[in-house]
Structure 1
Amino acid sequence: MEKVKPKKHLGQHFLVDLSIAENIAKAVTGHLGVKKLLEIGPGMGVLTDFLLNGGWDLYLVDIDSESIQYLHKKYPDLGDKIIEADYLKSDFSTIMKGPYAIAGNFPYNISSQIFFKILDERNIVTEVVCMLQKEVAQRIASPKGNKDYGILSVLLQAYYDIEYLFSVPPGVFNPPPKVNSGVIRLKRNNVEKLDCDEKLFFRVVKQGFGTRRKTLRNCMKSLGIPEEMKEDPILDKRAEQLDVQEFVMLTKKLQKSWNP
């Protein structure tokens, strides 16, 4: 079969190192007993080969029609489980019909958007093992107080236990990216719902990191700070100093004066 040419406008960097592909596949654990697995952006199936050996009920999604044609030829038995679609614009809750895990080498230019979609589907996405730009991977796994700690760190850590697994150099891709990559694993925790207004929680986190050098007192003014909270010492902190539970506590206090 003729190989697929990586397309710059799709942010494609095809993994060519088989040992790294095997390590990524092995990192998917089947958390919570889930056997359905969706690979995002399989390209020419370097990771797919190892996932198929893992006994998964495997689905593939790729936006690139050339990759889709290649995958149909390479994996004829998968049939309609090879899906030509934009993951960001597709409803995989109906396609997968129940809880599922995700694996993949995420396109760097849309990796954050993929995670925001995963957050929207957090009640059915049980596990994620993925490779992405190293600094984004570090940010997602970062604890509070770290300069990498940000919006995605807090929002994802609210619902997932996160591990940074290993780093990957540029030379194992075709074409090599200009940055290093990192592999992380997310496992859904037991938080079904946060102990606060979740819509406000998301807004508070985004607002707090929007101007991360300012104190929360300044960041939260537009949300309305209740009178009894005006002297609360938490408002003298910056967003990067709060962990998930402290953000939940802050949200509960701000709920008193919030008008959605």
Structure 2
Amino acid sequence: MKKNKGKYSPQHTPANDGEVRAKKHLGQHFLTDESVAEKIADSLTWEGYENVLEIGPGMGVLTKYLLKKGVNLHVIEIDRDSVAYLDENYPTLEGKVHQEDFLKYDLRKIFPEGPYAIIGNFPYNISTQIVFKTLENREEIPEFAGMFQKEVAQRIAAPHGNKTYGILSVLTQAFYEVTYLLTVPPAVFNPPPKVESGVIRLTRKEDYSLPCDEALFFRVVKTAFQQRRKTLRNSLKIFQLPDNLREDAIFGQRPEQLSTEQFIELTLKIEPYAIST
């Protein structure tokens, strides 16, 4: 796993000016530190695409740095107050501010052709769902960067053998190279969250196709980690595998001990005996 860890001390700009109030039910914490916003904007490589989608721009502290990149930037924001603020303060985004729920919206309506990157200071309450939707649309998304709760960012980037390594780690790393970029303190947000944040970048692998049945791979990974303290021999009983296969050494390990490549190997072993659903 690539690691490029850093930690930033706050360089505060004036906080939320009152025009948009952070809404708890939307998981909003407005970033107020210009240096962190610039670092997030700089975290993308900007190679191989011209389209970029920012999720949850709020009042645009990150947006203004993205606009400087000269790319085709669209933003998606569910909060109507934030949308009104963006429409008023960012006239260059006319026609490119989408008041929609990212998780439910068909992204092909924004970018019908050509690849696009995703970036944002993600609401913590939907951040893992954002990653899973990115994986579903990986053919169109060569790069992804954003801010998560630190614990979630570390989980996505965790290597096998790490206690935080799990379903999200394996499925993300099957298709993307993950780089943990920096840790961000609560003081750079308004209101400040109770936890630290972490910024990561996902870069799609050159060959991101799986040599095994994809649906079965997802099923094997999720089933294995549902009983992560058990060996695979016990946690994968639902597949009703023959005894001679279950004697293979790989079944004597626990799920966190297997790399993504080993989970692919495991799926290939199971594939002749299982029906993918």
- 2:143 corresponds in structure 1 to 127
* 1:192 to partner: Cα distance: 3.6
* Pairing 1:250–2:258 present: no
Structure 1 letter corresponding to 2:186: P
* 1:6 to partner: Cα distance: 0.2
Structure 2 letter corresponding to 1:225: L
Deviations 1:79-134 (A, max 9, x none): 12100000000111232122100110000011011111011001111111100100
**Given the alignment, which residue of 19, 26, 31 partners 1:3?**
19
* Pairing 1:148–2:164 present: yes
Q: Is residue 224–residue 254 contact of structure 1 (8 Å, CA) maintained in 2? A: no
Which structure carries more helix by proportion? Answer: 1
- 1:20 corresponds in structure 2 to 36
* Pairing 1:181–2:181 present: no
- 1:73 corresponds in structure 2 to 88
State the distance in 2 between where 1:2 and 1:156 align. 37
How does the TM-score come out when normalised to structure 1?
A: 0.97
Structure 2 letter corresponding to 1:84: Q
Q: Is residue 213–residue 238 contact of structure 1 (8 Å, CA) maintained in 2? A: yes
**Given the alignment, which residue of 22, 32, 39 partners 2:54?**
39
State the distance in 2 between where 1:224 and 1:74 align. 60
- 1:190 corresponds in structure 2 to 206
* 1:28 to partner: Cα distance: 1.2
Higher relative contact order (CA 8 A, sep 6+): 2
Structure 1 letter corresponding to 2:154: Q
Matched residue SS, 1:37: strand
Structure 2 letter corresponding to 1:71: L
**Given the alignment, which residue of 227, 233, 239 partners 2:255?**
239
Deviations 1:13-53 (A, max 9, x none): 0000000000111111113x111000000000000011111
* 1:223 to partner: Cα distance: 1.6
Number of residue equivalences: 259
State the distance in 2 between where 1:180 and 1:154 align. 23
* Pairing 1:209–2:225 present: yes
Q: Is residue 226–residue 256 contact of structure 1 (8 Å, CA) maintained in 2? A: no
- 2:127 corresponds in structure 1 to 111
Alpha carbon RMSD of aligned pairs, Å?
1.1
- 1:86 corresponds in structure 2 to 101
Matched residue SS, 2:94: helix
State the distance in 2 between where 1:2 and 1:169 align. 22
Matched residue SS, 2:164: coil
How does the TM-score come out when normalised to structure 2?
A: 0.91
* 1:2 to partner: Cα distance: 5.7
Q: Is residue 154–residue 244 contact of structure 1 (8 Å, CA) maintained in 2? A: yes
Q: Is residue 40–residue 87 contact of structure 1 (8 Å, CA) maintained in 2? A: yes
* Pairing 1:52–2:46 present: no
Structure 2 letter corresponding to 1:13: H
Structure 1: gaps (5+ residues): none
Q: Is residue 36–residue 57 contact of structure 1 (8 Å, CA) maintained in 2? A: yes
Q: Is residue 145–residue 240 contact of structure 1 (8 Å, CA) maintained in 2? A: yes
* 1:226 to partner: Cα distance: 3.2
State the distance in 2 between where 1:92 and 1:226 align. 43
Q: Is residue 15–residue 21 contact of structure 1 (8 Å, CA) maintained in 2? A: yes
Q: Is residue 154–residue 243 contact of structure 1 (8 Å, CA) maintained in 2? A: yes
State the distance in 1 between where 2:205 and 2:93 align. 31
Structure 1 letter corresponding to 2:34: L
Report percent identity of matched pairs. 55
Structure 2: gaps (5+ residues): 1-16
Greater displacement, 70-79 / 84-93:
70-79
